[in-house]
Amino acid sequence: MADEKKRVTTDGQPADGVTPGAPKPLDPETGQHGAYYVLSEEERGKGFVRPLRSSYVHSRCATVTKMGTAIAETYAREPSFYASTFCVSCKDHFDVAEFVWDGTDEVLGS
């Protein structure tokens, strides 16, 4: 995981340095966490090492999931930041190796 001083949450809170995985619990209706860790705006502003993409496909169900800008920019800045990601159809988190960027055969996190 990224250095704590570079991490914030998608709901605008600083990373607490204690909570692993995601800073807020799962919503039982959606399967998503209430917030996710991302790189700080300052860190994302340093530029990207991979193309900026906002959607990916789950290999199990072939569903496209779209993500918010801060998460997409975090993937583009630091591709290995996340070990798992969410599928909107399966309503669960899976290893990034189960997903490819939409329109490509490139695995997330590579």
Average pLDDT value for residue range 53-78: 97
Does residue 61 or residue 22 have the better pLDDT? Answer: 61
Q: How confident is the model at residue 66 (pLDDT cuts 50, 70, 90)?
A: very high
Q: Are 22 and 36 in contact (CB under 8 A)?
A: yes
Q: What is the pLDDT of residue 4?
A: 59
What contacts 34, CB < 8 A, 6 or more positions away? Answer: 11, 22, 23, 24, 25, 26, 27
The yes-or-no verdict on residue 1 having pLDDT over 60 is no
Q: How confident is the model at residue 12 (pLDDT cuts 50, 70, 90)?
A: confident
Q: Which two tokens stand for residue 9?
A: 């949450």
Q: How confident is the model at residue 3 (pLDDT cuts 50, 70, 90)?
A: low
How many other CB atoms are there within 10 angstroms of residue 46's CB atom? 11
Q: What is the pLDDT of residue 2?
A: 47
Measuring CA to CA, which residue among 44, 22, 42 is closest to residue 32?
A: 22
pTM: 0.89
How is 47-59 classified by DSSP, letter by letter?
Answer: --SS----EEEET
